[in-house]
Structure 1
Amino acid sequence: MSNTLTHPELAALIQARAGVVIDPVDLERPGASFDEFGVDSLGLLGVVGELENRHGVKVTNGAESAKTPAEFLELVNSAFTAKAGA
């Protein structure tokens, strides 16, 4: 298992946890925001919980409030990187 969350993995998690289907390519678009996809903080909280359970890592507080996929991935992947270096 890789220590970085990718756009396709994020799209799959959002579909599983928030019930929203998003093309991973759309998540990569500069300026893309969760609002435009209909993903709210509650949906992201579900994604964060799944990631924490799956990876045994505490994801940075505030990840569920990320406004963009890029911001979310940066927060999550920095938590994974910190764990890997711990």
Structure 2
Amino acid sequence: MSEFTADELARIMRQYAGVTDPPPLDGEQRDTDFAELGCDSLGLIEVKARIETEYHVTIPENGLSTPAELMDYVNEQQKAKR
């Protein structure tokens, strides 16, 4: 499986959380809370569920409240499976 990137996260946020125009998530926005990026708690649940399906990882319900935390976690889980 390929690395989980900011572009992939932005795509999933658009498709499953209704965030029509997510900011670039590879700059300073990496450390911005999802709520401030326009992704409410229900949207974040949808995002995490889609990532679990596409990347075959289990994401904890609590924590991982920024794009950086989520991307790092998914990539770490993928490396552990190799």
Structure 2 counterparts to residues 27-46 of structure 1, below 5 A: 27-30=25-28, 31-46=31-46
Matched residues in 2 for 1:40 and 1:76: separation?
Answer: 20
Matched residues in 2 for 1:50 and 1:18: separation?
Answer: 10
The residue number in structure 2 matching 1:72 is: 70
Structure 2 counterparts to residues 1-86 of structure 1, below 5 A: 1-2=1-2, 4-21=3-20, 22-23=22-23, 25=24, 27-30=25-28, 31-55=31-55, 57-62=56-61, 65-84=63-82
Q: For structure 2, which runs of at least 5 residues remain unmatched after alignment? A: none
TM-score for both structures, normalised by structure 1: 0.74
Conservation of the 8 A alpha-carbon contact between 2:34 and 2:44: no
Could you tell me how far 1:5 is from its partner in structure 2? 0.7
% identical equivalent positions: 35
- Between structures 1 and 2, the one with greater helix share: 1
SS of the residue 2:68 aligns to: helix
Q: For structure 1, which runs of at least 5 residues remain unmatched after alignment? A: none
TM-score for both structures, normalised by structure 2: 0.77
> What do you get for the CA RMSD once the two structures are aligned?
1.9
Output the amino acid matched with 2:59: T
